[in-house]
Amino acid sequence: MKTNGGRRRIRALCWSQRAWRGAGMAQKKYLQAKLTQFLREDRIQLWKPPYTDENKKVGLALKDLAKKYSDKLECCENEVEKIIEEIRCKAIERGTGNENYRTTGIATIEVFLPPRLKKDRKNLLETRLLITGRELRSKIAETFGFQENYIKIVINKKQLQLGKTLEEQGVAHNVKAMVLELKQSEEDVRKNFQLEEEEQNEAELKEKQIQRTKRGLEILAQRAAETVVDPEMTPYLDIANQTGRSIRIPASERKALMLAMGYHEKGRAFLKRKEYGIALPCLLDADKYFCECCRELLDTVDNYAVLQLDIVWCYFRLEQLECLDDAEKKLNLAQKCFKNCYGENHQRLVHIKGNCGKEKVLFLRLYLLQGIRNYHSGNDVEACEYLNKARQLLKELYIDPSKVDNLLQLGFTAQEARLGLRACDGNVDHAATHITNRREELAQIRKEEKEKKRRRLESIRCLKGMGYSTHAAQQALHAASGNLDEALKILLSNPQMWWLNDSNPETDNRQESPSQENIDQLVYMGFDALVAEAALRVFRGNVQLAAQTLAHNGGSLPPDLPLSPEDSLSPPATSPSDSAGTSSASTDEDMETEAVNEILEDIPEHEEDYLDSTLEDEEMIIAEYLSYVENMKSATKKN
């Protein structure tokens, strides 16, 4: 889509008890996944004797089970026993909830709270499924101490719709709900009133920002769908291929694709600012609109694959990866899309762009997320394999800072330098040539695209000068692939297209009856007086259109043409009360301009911005998770 210091490293020399505590949540999730695996393999039902007695208390056999599994894992027996007990309690809670749902219809929802909260982040909430999304949000806010208007709820990878019931939105018993905060507080409670007020103001600004994002994208998508905007005067979005040239998209899918890509770009802007709670709703909206596009289209562009990576990354950075039940499916889908788009071993990509060095960044992120997901699922062998693949790519993508400085001195940007060096395997001279050539190619493409749009606008103006509306001219030119003569033939053969009027009162030229002067003009051209009068009524006094239509149809009107202005689809005349709204209309226009500009600010100028990364975050996370995997077997056993 287009519009106009030192690195922190994690070292793990030994696996002390302190290091174990530092690994914290990641290690606990690994053990939970591994122990759950063992329990399934051994077909052990913790909620039944001998692991649970008749009073639902823990049985003595659980200690023997913990001993068996701690020996198998070579880790602390007390830690294993504690986690098995948590799994047992959760199984009992789930069983109780299932029985309660069967008898009363009251469902249980597993609520995942934001990371900043010190209390248990997984909590159960009972509710009926006939309540609305607004009522559920209110209940969650009241139960867990949030301000209702400053949270969003995500269920089944979709934002909860406030006006619909849970049942209508597919919310079921035992579903997972994630709470996103719009405010950025790091404290549980603010006692100072001024700070509380600042928090509220910040949350209100975030909510307004989200609403402006939606409005701005809708405006830009509509402009793109109409394809009649003046690029010199009106901001718009365009869809380009991997070389930077605009591509034609079927009208039925263009708006959905534009909204999908727009929400994705906005979400990526929030990701860059590490505002993950606001980024996720944008990314999920992008996913929703991409799903409205045909499968063939999604298989030919890499945008959809990149979006899947961004969604999983966002869940991971929110420390809520377990809320994303289909993380593996999304990552596999991304891998499949990359293969379809880039070709086996990237040969299609190399053929189009001459290299695949920059796209390796995407595969590094893919392998890293696959490694993390496998680790959290207890698959340490697969996790190690993917993490090592990510580490190897990290080495290949490393950029010498001095080489970036050399390119900066030549007048290139840091982003151009990173992308150029990765495309040219770190060769500074080749990178400089590559960047220069790419600049020249894009300048030529922009010049050609600008000329193409200028010709189209000129053709539209020409047809409008003949009396046709902008929308009629647009449709005719689209059907004629931009050929003005063919478009005119289409309009003459389909005079009913004249009723595709603009929603502008100034274009409404309806008359009570044609003037005698206009009738005489048509009679002078050789047309019958009665037919001339009827044609002028149909075309509201437009002599040129009436004459063209009569001449094209042998002196008569087509039989399927309405013979009175009342039959047309044009908008009603402006009433006096409409003029009273001029001030509010002006205000709305200003708000729309603000919304559009806010979107455009976040859409990067460089078409390969999504491939540019310093990889500093990835480097730390790779080292962190490799340390977990590599030191697991050497963990000190504590009895």
Q: d(Cα 239, Cα 603) in Å, to the nearest integer? A: 12
22-31, 285-294, 306-315: least confident range: 22-31
Q: Read off the pLDDT of each residue in 61-90 and give the average, rounded to a whole number.
A: 90
Quick check: pTM over 0.75?
A: no
Give phi and psi for 324, each to the nearest 5. Answer: -95, 90
The pLDDT mean for the chain works out to 78
- DSSP H stretches of helix in 227-301: 251-272, 276-290, 295-298
Residues 482-535 pLDDT 10s: 888 888 888 877 766 765 555 443 444 444 578 888 888 888 888 888 888 888
Q: If DSSP states are collapsed to H, E and C, what string results for 508-542?
A: CCCCCCCCHHHHHHHHHCCCCHHHHHHHHHHCCCC
Q: d(Cα 54, Cα 48) in Å, to the nearest integer? A: 9
Residue 273 has pLDDT above 60, yes or no: yes
SS3 568: coil
**Token representation of residue 44:** 């052990």
Contact partners, residue 624, CB within 8 Å, separation at least 6 = 10, 26
Task: State the pLDDT confidence band at 370, using cuts at 50, 70 and 90.
Answer: very high
Residues 117-156 pLDDT 10s: 755 667 889 999 999 999 999 999 999 888 888 889 999 8
Which one-letter amino acid corresponds to residue 532? A
Q: Are strands 107-112 and 151-155 parallel, antiparallel or unpaired?
A: unpaired
**Token representation of residue 357:** 């060095």
Q: Read off the pLDDT of each residue in 77-91 and give the average, rounded to a whole number.
A: 91
Look at residue 196 in the predicted model and tell me its pLDDT: 45
Query: How far separated are the first and last CA of the chain, in Å rounded?
Result: 58
DSSP 77-130: HHHHHHHHHHHHHHHHHHHHHHHHHHHH--EEEEEEPPTT--S-SEEEEEE-TT
Look at residue 213 in the predicted model and tell me its pLDDT: 67
SS3 501: coil
- Residue 323: how many other CB atoms lie within 10 Å: 20
Look at residue 19 in the predicted model and tell me its pLDDT: 38
136-140, 537-541, 585-589: least confident range: 585-589
Question: If 0-12 CB within 10 Å is exposed, 13-18 middle and 19+ buried, where does residue 590 land?
Answer: exposed
Look at residue 167 in the predicted model and tell me its pLDDT: 92
Higher pLDDT, 509 or 165: 165
Residue 307 has pLDDT above 90, yes or no: yes
409 touches 428 (CB < 8 A)? no
Residues 423-479 pLDDT 10s: 898 999 999 999 999 899 888 888 887 888 888 888 888 888 877 778 788 888 878
Q: Read off the pLDDT of each residue in 322-346 and give the average, rounded to a whole number.
A: 86
Which one-letter amino acid corresponds to residue 97? G
Task: State the pLDDT confidence band at 615, using cuts at 50, 70 and 90.
Answer: very high
